[in-house]
A and B are shown apart, each in its own frame.
Chain A
Amino acid sequence: MQLTQCQTRLYGFLFKRLADREQASEVLQETNLVLCRKAADFRSGTNFFAWAVTVARYQCMSYRTTQARNRLVFTDQVGLLIDQEEEEASPIITQSLVHLRHCMQALSSDNRELLENRYDAGWSIEQISTKLDRSVGSIKVKLHRLRRSLMDCIQGRLKEEGT
């Protein structure tokens, strides 16, 4: 069940490095194949996600070498910087999930519902705008502001605890 459980997180890892949904899905598929092929290499008792991420990282690097530069969003240099800076922040990322739950509680029920429509129900911006009878533009702005405010809330909580 570990592979199914970490699909969302693996996708997030790849999406962040590739900044393109289709490319991230493509590399995730390759990653899953490699994980299954190399299943016997996984050592019981060790962190499955850490192992899966290592595989995903190599798949991402390999994918980048096979693509024309104009298909990729980030240059090698920026890709490397994202990797380095995330590595330094990895314990903070684990904490972020814990803080996110708390920060979500502080949102109004309307705002929570908007996020749930987008993430839980998986609705497109257009679907949400029809449901709420609001313009597509205003939904986009609202969602962006909510993410920024959650980001600030999480950062504030991390700062408070001195992480």
Chain B
Amino acid sequence: MSNNKEWEKEMDGLLGRLVDTGLNPEEKVRLNSIMEENPGARLLYNNYMDVHGALEEHLAEPDFTSLDPVLDDNVLSSIKNPQAFPSHWRRMILAAAAVVAIGFFIQFSGQQPEAKPELPIAQITKLSGPLLWTGDGGLVNRNLQAGSNLFGGTIEGMAPDAWFELEFNDGSKVVISGNSMLTISDLGQKELRLREGSFSANVVPQPEGKPMLVRTRSALFEVMGTRFSVDAELSSSTLTVNEGKVRATRLSDGSTVEVAAKHRVVAALDCELVPEEMPDSVTLWQSHLENGSKRNHGEWMPANGAEPTHLKTVPYTLPAKDDRKQRTIHTLGMPVSQGDHPPVVLQPETKVHVRGKVASSHRIWFGMTLLRENGDFAGRFQTILPAEEFQSGEPFEVVLNLTDYHLDPSLAQWAETLPKTPYGLIVKGVWCHTLWDPAGLQVSEMALTTPTEQ
């Protein structure tokens, strides 16, 4: 048997050449002979080739050229003629043709395109409002129910009043509320990808070396076991840690920080990646639609003549499960305690101001989504004003007391676990809507005030 050091050094050279350029005949003979003699060399070969294969699989675009023989001969002959198609076109055509071929493959085999993993990774525990689940194989489901098992996929909150809570098999909980899009997976290590919006989570201690990974466009967060929330925008992500500790990595430069309890960090290009203590809560808030459409839910319209900047409602049609007639909610919403804004806490004397306009007189629902101090979902509270209060085509201004607000009836089955009143809770977002008819509701300003601090 060759000396360890010698064969290992030789294997190093051979393996590198094998995957990058290929081996010449002498090198091939030598590779076989080293592997025949040394079990350690075979182990090294296996591990090295697995890493190479995993890199190809993880990073590379699939190569469809080996599907050539599956394709039609005539298509192939034109594709194979190098003068007919440049190489990059050939590759694209092959890919497209491959998809067609696979379509036939699936159709003729009469099988489902995807087999679900054997065990679900999580279960839906609570939900309400408009939600859409895209699961394994691209299956879209709008008729979600508490208790349903999940095998990995994407949950999307379609309106400001959406709410969804899931529990992983180990008891870790994840909640989205409002307009958010979150992909979950668990292949031995939990991974969440927040495409937009926000979510909060209460994560039980994860196995050593396998933290829950939370990805956004701009950051990676590694969570061992803690309570935290994440808020993602196009170019920045805010991590707020309520309990425990989370490691945050800014993807643009790989810089990393540990974020402790009661701290938060913003991962963005234009600011330093430094955790800061969570700001003290405030009791006042005012919308600033003139600053742009960012994070609002609705159609943002710039000021035009006498018309101030405003948000118009956007439609959401209910699935048949929730409404047999599949009617439409016309809704708009604004974030309050999200991103880098300090938490806004409701006082018993807080008043809600709304300025806007309706095209036709209509009942309007005014609501807010609330959180507990630890970031947990605390319900949606709402009040309804009759159509008589709103004149067609006329601007309106309403001032609402918190005593007018009540828990959204669609949350009645979880009322026991939710606060009875909104006092002392954090306002995540405010929203308003009309039901079924497009009343042309638009809002130019919303504010939360307290008489003493106004």
Contacts and interface: CB of A to CB of B under 8 A. Distances in A.
A97 B66 contact: no
Contacts of A53: none
Given A12-B57, A151-B51, A44 B112 contact: yes
B81 to A, nearest CB: 19
A61 interface: no
Interface string A77-92: 1100110011001000
A93 B87 CA distance: 34
Interface string A49-88: 0000000000000000000001001110110011001100
B49 A12 contact: yes
Interface string B97-119: 01101100110111111111000
A120 interface: yes
B64 A7 contact: yes
Contact of B208 (A95, A105, A116, A160): A160
B57 A9 contact: yes
B52 A154 contact: no
Contact of B36 (A35, A46, A77, A108): A77
A29 B94 CA distance: 13
B405 interface: no
Given A81-B42, A109-B254, A140-B20, A98 B189 contact: yes
A32 B102 CA distance: 10
Contacts of A134: none
Interface in B48-98: 48-70, 98
B31 interface: yes
A150 to B, nearest CB: 5
A47 interface: yes
Interface string A98-116: 1011101100110000011
A1 B113 contact: yes
Given A47-B115, A77-B36, A147-B55, A7 B67 contact: yes
Contacts of A122: 60-61
A116 to B, nearest CB: 6
A33 B52 contact: no
Interface string A1-36: 111110111011101100111000100111111011
Contacts of B21: 125, 140
Contacts of B98: 4
Contact of B62 (A5, A75, A105, A148): A5
B31 A4 contact: no
Task: Say which size band chain A's interface belongs to.
Answer: 35 or more
B187 interface: yes
B253 A109 contact: yes
B59 A116 contact: yes
Nearest to A160: B209
Nearest to B58: A100
Nearest to A149: B51
Contact of B16 (A8, A82, A141): A141
Main secondary structure of the interface of A (DSSP, over half): helix
A122 B20 CA distance: 11
Nearest to A47: B115
Contact of A155 (B47, B63, B99, B105): B47
Given A75-B32, A97-B57, A144-B15, A42 B109 contact: yes
A73 B62 contact: no
A41 to B, nearest CB: 8
B144 interface: no
Interface string B205-235: 0011110010000001000000000000000
B169 interface: no
A44 B114 CA distance: 8
A132 interface: no
A10 to B, nearest CB: 8
B104 to A, nearest CB: 8
Contacts of A19: 18, 23, 28, 31
Contacts of B19: 147
Interface of A: 1-5, 7-9, 11-13, 15-16, 19-21, 25, 28-33, 35-36, 39-40, 42-48, 70, 73-75, 77-78, 81-82, 85-86, 89, 93-98, 100-102, 104-105, 108-109, 115-116, 118-120, 122, 125, 140-141, 143-144, 147-148, 150-151, 154-155, 157, 160-161
27 contacts: A1-B113, A2-B114, A3-B67, A7-B62, A12-B49, A16-B49, A19-B31, A29-B67, A32-B67, A36-B101, A39-B111, A40-B108, A44-B115, A78-B32, A81-B35, A85-B42, A85-B43, A96-B51, A98-B187, A105-B249, A108-B254, A119-B59, A140-B17, A140-B20, A143-B16, A144-B15, A161-B209
Interface of B: 12, 15-23, 25, 28, 31-32, 35-36, 42-43, 45-70, 98-99, 101-102, 105-106, 108-116, 187-189, 207-210, 213, 220, 249, 253-254
Given A75-B32, A140-B21, A151-B48, 19 more contacts: A1-B102, A4-B99, A7-B62, A8-B53, A12-B53, A15-B49, A15-B53, A16-B53, A32-B66, A32-B69, A35-B105, A44-B115, A46-B115, A74-B32, A82-B45, A105-B249, A115-B55, A116-B59, A118-B20
